[in-house]
Amino acid sequence: MTRRRVIAQGTFDLLHPGHLHYLEQAADLGEVFVIVARRENVTHKPKPVVPDRQRRDMVAALSLVDHAVLGHREDIFVPVEEIDPDVILLGHDQHHDPAAIAAALDERGIDCEVRRATGRAPRYEGELFSTRDIVDRIREERC
Known binder of ligand: residue 11?
yes
The DSSP letter of residue 141 is H
The pLDDT of residue 134 is above 80: yes
**Structural contact between residues 66 and 35, judged by C-beta atoms closer than 8 angstroms:** no
Share the mean pLDDT of the chain.
94
The pLDDT of residue 2 is above 80: no
Predicted confidence band of residue 88 (pLDDT cuts 50, 70, 90) = very high
Distance CA 61, CA 59 (A): 5
Distance CA 125, CA 82 (A): 42
Known binder of ligand: residue 17?
yes
User: Is the four-CA dihedral 19, 128, 12, 68 of positive or negative sign?
Assistant: negative
Known binder of ligand: residue 18?
yes
Q: Are strands 31-36 and 67-70 parallel, antiparallel or unpaired?
A: parallel
The whole-number pLDDT of residue 109 equals: 94
Q: Which domain holds residue 93?
A: 5-142
Known binder of ligand: residue 12?
yes
Domain count, the chain: 1
- Give the mean model confidence (pLDDT) for residues 23-30: 98
The pLDDT of residue 89 is above 90: yes
Distance CA 59, CA 3 (A): 20
Known binder of ligand: residue 16?
yes
**For residue 97, what is the domain's CATH number?**
3.40.50.620
The pLDDT of residue 1 is above 80: no
Q: Concatenated DSSP letters for 18-74?
A: HHHHHHHHHHHHSEEEEEEPPGGG--SSPPPSS-HHHHHHHHHTSTT-SEEEEPPSS
Predicted confidence band of residue 38 (pLDDT cuts 50, 70, 90) = very high
The pLDDT of residue 121 is above 90: no
